[in-house]
Amino acid sequence: MAFLDLVNVKGANVIYHKDASLIPCPCRTSEGFRDPIWHLEHPNEIECNENGFLEDPSATTEFTVKGFVQPTGSPKMARYMLTMFDEFRTDDHVGMFPISWQGHDLDFANFDKSGDDYLEYDGKRFIVVGSVKIPDPSDNNKGHHYECALRLAQP
Ligand SMILES: [Zn+2]
């Protein structure tokens, strides 16, 4: 069975959230850095992200995609995933996702690692710390899918 058919039947629902926030926060210094002191002095202003940008709902992409998500349980899997994870944590997960789903393109190459962009699976948020595109032999290499290293986002 081709990957897309398989994931459609057996995959879990995963929320893909990508925040393309490009609205510079008023706190940004002339050098382009986020200024936490400005926020202390302006407690009623919205907190920006760690790069000094405010969330832009019109630029935020969120949709549900089918994917396979599982813990990096076995040592064999852990060794394989070491190419994507810098270190191991017991709650690290591996995810397999289509490159494109119902007209939405998944873009893990530009996925923010600070927590602004995340995948939500089983009620938990994960950041994508690594990803590779894998050719799918059952599609004669026409279709591809992503394999992703997922790390539990810090609340
Ligand atoms: Zn700010």
- 75 and 130 co-located in one domain: yes
- 112 and 148 co-located in one domain: yes
**Predicted confidence (pLDDT) per residue in 35-57, tens digit:** 999 999 999 999 998 889 888 87
Interval between CA 95 and ligand 1 midpoint (Å): 33
Interval between CA 47 and ligand 1 midpoint (Å): 6
- Running DSSP on this structure, what letter comes out for residue 101? E
147, 94 in Cβ contact below 8 A?
yes
Interval between CA 23 and ligand 1 midpoint (Å): 10
- 14 and 42 co-located in one domain: no
Residue 143 has pLDDT above 60, yes or no: no
- 71 and 103 co-located in one domain: yes
> Token pair 């994508």 is at which residue?
128
| Domain count for the chain | 2
- 62 and 90 co-located in one domain: yes
Domain extent for 46: 21-55
- 40 and 99 co-located in one domain: no
Residue 95 has pLDDT above 70, yes or no: yes
pTM score of the predicted model: 0.75
Stretch 62-70: mean pLDDT, rounded? 95
